[in-house]
Structure 1
């Protein structure tokens, strides 16, 4: 039986998935902020479900009554069990109406999730200790002995932007789980919050380490270049007969762009577009991205490094939708198809 687990994009939300991954197998993980993104992710999940039995588990996300009704309607002809475990008081009305909507505002969603699964499959002392750390910071128990460690964990997850979740959803959750697994190593230490804070940079580097040590930026770039290269068909675009790569909110576009182009000389340019509509253009060699930036978005700059602003860009949670907008922009400006 397939399980689809949709959760929030913070420490509490990811920790719910860490708990479900501890107890269950055959899970696909998805993450969302509130509002329309939930609908987008749910539509994607529902579209993947065939006639087989499945469970959709939603954690650390509160739904509106309209959303609950819509999901029930979309699932009425499918063999799917819907479960929601949450702690946000704004879902109180829904919890009274829908039997699959469980709400308890006295515990974090992670704590609810752990209590739910451990009651069925058995307790785990270390996992429970970690869940207590998340609980302390998520519902802000300032006098709890776990609170300071929870703050460090919360900041670490909030700052874990090395792998973009829109482009690399599976790799992103793998990275988050790796960090959480390492958090658990500090639970029994004196001054655990200080020890983890001191070690965090090294822990991140160890995830990206392949052969030789380097800066976190370079290790991260090498990791992303490998994944961009192995998925180059998905991320490639064409401009006036030249092939390039398109990324979204990749971060450190100069470093990653140059590293990718050096490793893949058949690609002539590298574009990163951000949620703020800015575009970074990079090349390595004779390809002039300043002219490209000027033509596409009235931008400009240097031959190998330019920028621009795509005023008509509509941010999306789906890479294919992002790529489609850039491809349409190129076709419109160049007159090519």
Structure 2
């Protein structure tokens, strides 16, 4: 049996996955905001399950996400056709209509999704005092129990996860979830300590440094950049694109494009250019002397700049939480420009 766990992108959502991870090891995690992103993730999950070719032993678990009736109808139909088990644990009152219609939609507005998930699995498997204490902290802040003893620590938990943006969740899904779990493991050690909220708040910077530090200490910013470049180098085959015979890498909302782009190209001399696309539809191009990216930017999106650092706006770009969908748009853009150039050359020679 393998669990495919889709959850929200906040404290409660990730904490649900932390609970699932405590009880089961054969789990693949996905995270989503609301709207079309849920559908995108569901389709990715179905594709992942079908690649395993073992549909009857797959379970889709959805937590801390409120589905619409149309989403429930679609998911229910697909899972029945493919004989995949699905169940949802949530606490948002807006899902009441769905809960009444679908038996797999379990709703309880009196507890946060993490507590629902813990209560559900602890009854099936076993209870755990330390995990239960962690769940109580999440519950206190998620449903805003301001008089609860855990509330102030819960607020720090909330900020800890809300500000855990160091690892890109679109490109490095597994590493990002592992990072969140690391933060949870460290944070829950502060439960029941005197002034626990202040202590955790003071320790947050060093907890993050502990995760990213390898051989030597450095600033947190440098440690994060080194981590990202290592990850890009490790997974570069997945992110590779080509343009007019040159090989490059495509990133999404990577941040610090100049530093990361330059470091990646130095450490990976077989690559000629580096492109990052942001949610604002901007493209940032970087090179290391092998290709003039100002010409590349001009040809692709009417942009420009310098030989080794340029930019532009891809106005037709549609943002997504699915890297493959984003990459497909860039590949289509490159292909369309290449075809346009070929047709122009044919016309000029005829």
Q: Normalized against structure 2, the TM-score is what?
A: 0.92
Do residues 117 (structure 1) and 121 (structure 2) align?
A: yes
| TM superposition shift of 1:286 | 5.1
The equivalent position to 2:62 in structure 1, one of 58, 63, 83, is: 58
Cα-Cα RMSD? 1.6
The alignment partner of 1:76 has SS state of: helix
Q: Provide structure 2 residue ranges, at least 5 long, that are not aligned to the other structure.
A: 343-350
| TM superposition shift of 1:300 | 2.0
What is the CA deviation profile of residues 278-323 of structure 1, one whole-angstrom value per residue up to 9, with x for unaligned ones? Answer: 1111122353322222222222223322221110111122111111
Alpha-carbon distance in 2 for matches of 1:302, 1:48: 41
| TM superposition shift of 1:188 | 2.3
- More off after superposition, 84-93 vs 66-75: 66-75
Alpha-carbon distance in 1 for matches of 2:183, 2:232: 22
| TM superposition shift of 1:122 | 1.9
Q: Match for residue 234 of structure 1?
A: 238
Alpha-carbon distance in 1 for matches of 2:210, 2:74: 43
Q: Match for residue 139 of structure 2?
A: 135
| TM superposition shift of 1:107 | 0.9
- More off after superposition, 225-234 vs 307-316: 225-234
Q: Provide structure 1 residue ranges, at least 5 long, that are not aligned to the other structure.
A: none
| TM superposition shift of 1:166 | 1.2
Distance 1:242 1:196, change over 3 A: same
| TM superposition shift of 1:187 | 0.8
What is the CA deviation profile of residues 72-130 of structure 1, one whole-angstrom value per residue up to 9, with x for unaligned ones? Answer: 21111334322111000000111112111111111110111111111222221111111
Alpha-carbon distance in 2 for matches of 1:82, 1:238: 40
Q: Match for residue 172 of structure 2?
A: 168
Q: Match for residue 273 of structure 1?
A: 277
Whether contact under 8 Å (1:58, 1:85) holds in the other structure is: yes
The equivalent position to 1:181 in structure 2, one of 171, 174, 185, is: 185
Alpha-carbon distance in 2 for matches of 1:135, 1:162: 25
Q: Match for residue 219 of structure 2?
A: 215
Q: Match for residue 255 of structure 1?
A: 259
Do residues 37 (structure 1) and 37 (structure 2) align?
A: yes
Q: Match for residue 75 of structure 1?
A: 79
What is the CA deviation profile of residues 158-217 of structure 1, one whole-angstrom value per residue up to 9, with x for unaligned ones? Answer: 111111111111111111111111111111221111111111111112112121111122
Alpha-carbon distance in 1 for matches of 2:40, 2:222: 34
Q: Normalized against structure 1, the TM-score is what?
A: 0.95
Alpha-carbon distance in 1 for matches of 2:228, 2:314: 24
Q: Match for residue 293 of structure 2?
A: 289
Q: Match for residue 12 of structure 1?
A: 12
Alpha-carbon distance in 1 for matches of 2:19, 2:247: 43
Q: Match for residue 348 of structure 2?
A: none
The alignment partner of 1:307 has SS state of: strand
Q: Match for residue 324 of structure 1?
A: 328
Do residues 148 (structure 1) and 152 (structure 2) align?
A: yes
Whether contact under 8 Å (1:162, 1:251) holds in the other structure is: no
Alpha-carbon distance in 1 for matches of 2:38, 2:314: 26
Distance 1:88 1:268, change over 3 A: same
The alignment partner of 2:81 has SS state of: coil
Alpha-carbon distance in 2 for matches of 1:328, 1:102: 41
The equivalent position to 1:190 in structure 2, one of 189, 194, 198, is: 194
Alpha-carbon distance in 2 for matches of 1:231, 1:4: 22
The alignment partner of 2:56 has SS state of: coil
Q: Match for residue 99 of structure 1?
A: 103
Alpha-carbon distance in 1 for matches of 2:258, 2:209: 20
Give the paired residue count.
Answer: 337
